Chains A and B, each alone.
Chain A
Amino acid sequence: MNELRELARKLLTDGEVRVIIGWESARRGARPMFVTEPDGADGLIFDARCVHNLVTYLNPRRDHVAELGKIGLVIKGCDAKAVAGLLREAQLTRDDVVLIGVRCGGVLEENELPEAVALTRENVAPRCYGCDNREPTLVDHLLGEPQPEPPQPAVTIEERVAALDAQPLQERWAFWTGQFSKCVRCYACRQVCPLCVCERCVAERTQPQWIESSPHARGNLSWNITRALHLAGRCVDCGECERFCPVGIPLTLVNRKLQQIVAERYDYKVGEDPEIHAPIGDYRLDDEQEFIK
């Protein structure tokens, strides 16, 4: 952690960045911190409570964050994939941000604790299992000691998706319509997603109106499925959507399922290299797909 604090202090003092966005420990656990004065760097922490994907603060619509000046962003491996996503889609210019990578061994599922605790099968965030970039590469600096693999959770997300897949169609339909009927259309999932950056979300369009605003079953199904589809091939598995959902809809299961389909059909997994293009939402003159010829 000292390494992080010293680097942050240096970057601010040298004027290389005007604000460091990282984490601090507050009354209810770790939370995002915005440091603009070198002395403030002493408040920065990094431990297993640092679950948040801070890349959401690079969203171009956050003017009041952009106004702070050039950002130095602290990121884990999963977060780096989100940065790659923004670069891939020309929502960000690489030179506009300094990326401070931290080596990560996994984060807690319940992170609102006064102090970090050791990761166990029971308390680790399931999405960490199988992480393939605990040492982010899309960085300007890489800090921290190499970390061990996160423990395998009691139930992995793959197992949960498989259990749902094993259900007959009617049961799966009942499950998801039941889940989406809880939705109150607060759009927390969208607001915290680092890749939901559309200036005018499809749900807000009124001419024509694609998605009904009311949180009845029909409107909610429409919204949640549309959002999931818009994230297919783009979602980085940060899990923030599910974490922020105030009514506890297991959104990561939908996103993981779509990832599996994209991997199977297009042999593609979201990675840290912005030069590797996504199969969906990408246009190339030399597109390989036969059907377009």
Chain B
Amino acid sequence: MTDVTDTGAAAPQRYFISEADLRALAADLLGAGTDVIAPVSVDACQSPSALATAACLRPGVAPVDVEYKAIGDAAELDLGRDLPVLSLKQFFLPDHEALCRWHQRGLEVTVEEVPTTFAPRVVLAAKPCDSAALAVVDAVMNWDYKDELWNGRREASTIFNLACPVIDESCFCTAVGSAPDDVKGADGLLTPVEGGYVVETTTEKGRALVAAHPARFEAAGDPAMVGRIRQTQAERAGARSRVAANLEIDAESVRDWIATHFEDPLLASLAIRCNGCGACSSVCPTCHCFDIVDEEEGVGRGTRRRCWDTCQAPTFTLHASGHNPRDDQHVRYRQRINHKFSIYPLKFGEVLCTGCGRCTRVCHAGQDLVEILGAIDIAARRPGEAAAAAGAAAPGDVEAAS
């Protein structure tokens, strides 16, 4: 293997890594005591008992899910480019997390801090939509007050994306400013080529990871690289045009239309079949709303935690007086669309969505964000067409109330 020389240039550094070397890199990191988070094929039942596992299997459903997990062995690394069920969010904003702990004895109360620095860890083969989501949420987590827990985990992580082939027709990353080969929020990108991956590092952290493991990476000087890079360009361009075909919207027009059409019946009609189940929020890489609760762990001691919450829950805006400003599902759903596609972009300049499509896939009531954004885009860009489309009663449209 040729030596890696990091010139420190601002342009992405390119290398080649074989699949074997990628697994060896994971093994190196694990051997050095560094956590490695990566997609892993997980038995959907996760039971120690094989018989119970068989009993749990849902016929007709693939018995495995892909999940992001802290791997124990390099062999667990799943490079199949499937979409993990939950996003990377849980490693940066865990579904429950201690904010502080208290001890009370008599009148004396002490509060114990929780750590805000974390052991360095590496995320391998992340989905670009999941990494981009982290960069989007960085904005609110640093709005005046800096969330040390989120930032600490961000600082501790080096993330290498694996370019995505596009999962299916529910993906729409390019419509909201991301892409199947996005590097936003990440430190590097792996793109599959024959025999392995072209690696592009885009930040100091990414360069440092490569520099620390020179044996695993082949530098760009290799003549075979020219051909490989051409391969990656074709792969990445192909994926981008495939996903763009799923949905094209003018995100800024959508943003402004929502801001000025809050009471428009279209917005209220979008959620007619929504059950308010909140599954969409839990799988979403950018949803970050949380609750803060005190939980007693014993006599005179306990933990103040934050845990995932969702604007889709009926109690999200419930006042102690009993007044609930958002007391029905259609106004709660409107808030979801409003916050993600209008409020957050107006406030922070980023759409609070990276088009991963999980919300659409997990919604078994048929709420389809590709359809919803398409409908708002039509209303925003071509109001005349919107009226005609409503009259033609296309499938999926809610009929106008009589």
A residues near B (Cβ < 8 Å) are: 18, 24-37, 39-40, 43, 52, 56-57, 61-65, 68, 108-110, 112, 121-124, 126, 153-155, 159-164, 166-167, 171-172, 174-175, 178-179, 182, 184-192, 204, 212-216, 219, 240, 243-248, 250, 253
Contacts and interface: CB of A to CB of B under 8 A. Distances in A.
Nearest to B370: A27
Contacts of B271: 64
Given A64-B329, A122-B60, A186 B279 contact: yes
Nearest to A37: B399
B374 to A, nearest CB: 10
Contacts of B305: 214
B97 to A, nearest CB: 9
Interface residues of B, number: 66
Contact of A34 (B52, B57, B272, B281): B272
A189 B54 CA distance: 23
A106 to B, nearest CB: 12
| A-B residue pairs, 9 tightest by C-beta | A31-B366, A163-B55, A188-B277, A191-B277, A186-B278, A214-B96, A246-B279, A154-B59, A109-B60
Interface string B327-341: 111100000000000
Contact of B272 (A40, A64, A108, A159): A64
A178 B47 contact: yes
B386 to A, nearest CB: 18
Nearest to A57: B273
Contacts of A184: 86, 95, 282, 308
Q: Looking at A25, A34, A153, which has the most chain B CB atoms within 10 Å of its CB?
A: A34
Contacts of A34: 272-273, 398-399
A65 B272 contact: yes
B396 A24 contact: yes
A126 B58 contact: yes
Contact of B293 (A122, A162, A212): A212
Interface of B: 44-49, 51-52, 54-61, 65, 85-86, 95-96, 169-170, 268, 271-273, 275-279, 281-283, 291, 293, 295, 305, 307-308, 310, 313-315, 327-330, 360-362, 364-366, 368, 370-371, 393, 395-396, 398-402
A28 B45 CA distance: 26
Nearest to A154: B59
Q: Looking at B273, B281, B368, which has the most chain A CB atoms within 10 Å of its CB?
A: B273
B364 A52 contact: yes
A191 B54 contact: no
B368 A26 contact: yes
Contacts of A26: 366, 368, 371, 395-396
11 contacts: A33-B273, A36-B402, A109-B59, A154-B59, A187-B277, A187-B313, A191-B277, A244-B275, A246-B279, A250-B58, A253-B56
Given A43-B395, A62-B329, A244-B277, A153 B59 contact: yes
A257 B281 CA distance: 30
Contacts of B278: 186-188, 191
A123 B58 CA distance: 10
A167 B49 contact: yes
A250 B293 CA distance: 28
Given A65-B272, A185-B307, A191-B278, 5 more contacts: A109-B58, A164-B56, A172-B52, A174-B49, A213-B291
Chain B's interface: helix, strand, loop or mixed, by majority?
A: loop
B55 A164 contact: yes
A116 B63 CA distance: 23
B282 A155 contact: no
Contacts of A159: 55
Contacts of A18: 402
B282 A174 contact: no
Given A126-B59, A191-B276, A204-B315, A215 B368 contact: no
B308 A215 contact: yes
Contacts of B48: 171, 174-175
Nearest to B358: A246
Contact of B51 (A126, A167, A187, A247): A167
Contacts of B328: 62-64
A52 to B, nearest CB: 7
B56 A192 contact: no
Contacts of B273: 31-34, 57
Given A63-B328, A65-B272, A213-B291, A37 B393 contact: yes
A193 B61 CA distance: 22
A160 B51 CA distance: 10
Nearest to A250: B56
Nearest to A30: B366
A57 B395 CA distance: 20
A29 to B, nearest CB: 8
Contact of A37 (B44, B283, B329, B402): B402
Given A31-B366, A62-B328, A178 B360 contact: no
Given A26-B395, A27-B370, A64-B328, A214 B277 contact: no
Q: Looking at B49, B276, B329, B371, which has the most chain A CB atoms within 10 Å of its CB?
A: B49
Nearest to A174: B48
A188 B54 contact: no
A128 to B, nearest CB: 12
Contacts of A43: 393, 395
Contacts of A171: 47-49, 52
Given A28-B368, A216-B96, A246 B85 contact: yes
A234 B101 CA distance: 41
Q: Looking at B275, B278, B329, which has the most chain A CB atoms within 10 Å of its CB?
A: B275
Contacts of B291: 213
A200 B364 CA distance: 24
